[in-house]
Amino acid sequence: MNNIFSNIDAVKHMTAAISREADPERAYRIMEVCGTHTMSIARYGIASLLPANISLVSGPGCPVCVTSQADIDNSIDLAYGAARKLDSGAVQITTFGDMLRVTGSDGRSLYNAKAERNNVHIIYSPLDTLSLAKDNPDKHYVFMAVGFETTTPMAAGLVHTAAQQGISNISVLSMCKTMPAAFDLLLADPNAKIDGFLCPGNVSIITGSSIYEPIVAAKKAAAIVGFEPMDILSGVLEIIRQINKNDYHVANTYTRAASSDGNKKAQALTNKIFEPCDARWRGLGWLKGSGMAIRYEYMDYDAISLYNLNTRREEQPTQCRCGDILRGYIAPSACPLFGKACTPMTAVGPCMVSSEGACAAYYKYRI
Amino acid sequence: MIHFYPLQKLAKYVNIERIEVRIMCVGIPAKIIECDEISAIVDISGSQREISLLTLDAQAAAGDWVMVHAGFAVTVLDPAEAEETLQMMLDMANE
């Protein structure tokens, strides 16, 4: 591979420095918050390059994985026309592909709806919804918005553009979330025992580095890193140094894309369309102010009010342990369903479905 | 045979394999072919598509590389900065 950030000599140089500096007398538990990091770490076998006393733990940073069962059930109901106030034939769903195979409480998924009703469209950009809606004015398109700070501006861009162009047959089902409340929960959780966080570079491109301040205020290490092996390893080295010196600050080794202020234009677009609300996370429960709801001024584009969806509906308990995995309590292989009842083709929980889920990464790379 | 012609230059800095996997959280580097205030036509590994510049916080012109996220440019990429970052990381390991 000719990518300079996965150059073998550079990687050896970096892992040597990590082995030299890691204190063999203590254990280091480092959480990679983002699903893309989980995937990179598994793919490049990064855990095997590190001394045994450094463990990497997956966190709640895959948007599909943290989407609550209630929200999944709502989106599947919408696709099947079960929600109230629906002329069911007219409702069309647009979604990122990762959402398709997540199963609802009744065992159905958007994938089933796509096969049975042909009303689910996989898109790459939320804006792809616009051309579908323009071409089919008699149908109503609902975009399934999942994502963190990185992806919320794109859902906002859809509402903004639809409003500007006067397109009325579009709405957004917002399941968007923000990271700070999840960090607070993990920092306050005595069972998680995390010493440092690899912070997602893609989120930082939008938010800047300030959202990680509570981590260092709680005396935990933090490094903003990109997604190549050298990015991740330099973050690990930085975190080990902060822990050894007991000197905590938000380090940034992803300066080629993320600045300290973030992207103000994207932040302004998000704030124009969305406002914070409480949100339910899989495995973490209700977190105050961690969701993004569409503002009152744009309620015509809000699928939750348009279709009167109940975001507080009850959830059925299952054997799936995605919740414990998202909190860093257990590794995917410790779940009784892993690789048996639950595989990527017959996924029970979202961590196995999403291409960025911890279970999918562990399964694919046989960790 | 698969041609990644326009990306070869940036291949040193960005993992090309990732471009095939269009999952939502992964940014894709793209080269601007032409652009106006709000949108641009970009080249992504040989295929062209329209992207939005609604979320781009900087001026971009034809020929610039941008990181594209779900069809929106989010930042301008600087290949020189990538070289510097790697050197910084190697220096860090030497400390």
Please give, rounded to a whole number of angstroms, the shortest distance from the CA of B76 to a CA of chain A: 8
Can you tell me which residue has the tokens 């993320």?
A258
Summary mean pLDDT of chain A: 90
- Residue A216 to chain B, least CA–CA distance (Å): 21
Q: What is the per-residue pLDDT for A143?
A: 97
Query: Nearest CA to A220 among A196, A186, A189, A249?
Result: A196
Top residue of A4, A130, A132, A245 to mutate, by most chain B CBs within 10 Å, is A4
User: Smallest Cα–Cα separation from A283: which of A172, A154, A191?
Assistant: A191
Q: Is the pLDDT of residue B15 over 60?
A: no
Strand order of the sheet with strand A170-174?
Answer: A120-122, A91-95, A140-145, A170-174
Nearest-angstrom CA–CA distance, A283 and A128: 32
Q: Could you report the per-residue pLDDT of A30-76, keeping only the tens digit for each?
A: 999 888 898 889 888 999 999 999 999 988 888 988 999 999 999 99
What φ, ψ does residue B50 adopt, rounded to 5°? Answer: -85, 135
Please name every residue paired with B68 in a beta bridge, in sequence order, or none if there are none.
B28, B73
Across the interface, do A98 and B70 touch by the CB < 8 Å criterion? no
Give the model confidence (pLDDT) of B51-80 as tens digits: 999 999 888 999 998 888 899 999 998 877
Question: pLDDT digits over A83-100, tens only?
Answer: 555 555 578 999 998 888
Cα distance between residue B90 and residue B87, in whole Å: 5
* ipTM for the whole complex: 0.87
Q: Which long-range contacts (CB under 8 A, 24 or more apart) does A299-304 make?
A: A300/A168, A300/A171, A301/A159, A301/A162, A301/A163, A301/A170, A301/A171, A301/A172, A302/A171, A302/A172, A302/A174, A303/A78, A303/A142, A303/A171, A303/A172, A303/A173, A303/A174, A304/A173, A304/A174
Q: Do B72 and A154 touch (CB under 8 A)?
A: yes
Sheet holding A221-225, edge to edge: A54-61, A28-34, A196-200, A221-225, A250-252
pLDDT, tens only, A8-21: 888 999 999 999 99
> Residue B18's pLDDT is what?
39
Tokens 């994985």 identify what position? Answer: A65
Q: What mean pLDDT is predicted for residues A116-132?
A: 92
> In this complex, do A63 and B83 lie within 8 Å of one another by their Cβ atoms?
no
The encoded tokens of residue A340 equal 């048996």
Contact yes or no for A96 and B24 at CB 8 A: yes
Which domains does chain B possess?
Answer: 5-94 (2.30.30.140)
Contacts of B21 in chain A (CB under 8 A): 355
| pLDDT of the residue at A192 | 82
Specify the pLDDT at position A350: 85
What percent of chain A lies above the pLDDT cut of 90?
Answer: 58
What is the predicted pLDDT for the residue at A294? 97
Q: Parallel, antiparallel, or unpaired: how do β-strands B39-44 and B47-52 relate? A: antiparallel
**Nearest CA among B71, B61, B83, B65 for reference residue A230:** B83
Confidence tier at A80 by pLDDT (50, 70, 90): confident
Q: Which of A3, A66, A100, A256 to mutate to test the interface with B (most CBs of B within 10 A)?
A: A256
- All structural domains of chain A: 66-178+262-306 (3.40.50.11740)
Q: In a 3-state reduction of DSSP, which class is residue B90?
A: helix
Determine contact: B90 vs chain A, CB below 8 A. Answer: yes
Is the distance from CB of A123 to CB of A94 less than 8 angstroms? yes
Select from A332, A337, A237, A283 the least CA-distant residue to A42. A332
How far apart are alpha carbons A266 and A62 in whole angstroms? 20
| Cβ-nearest to A126 among B15, B21, B70 | B70
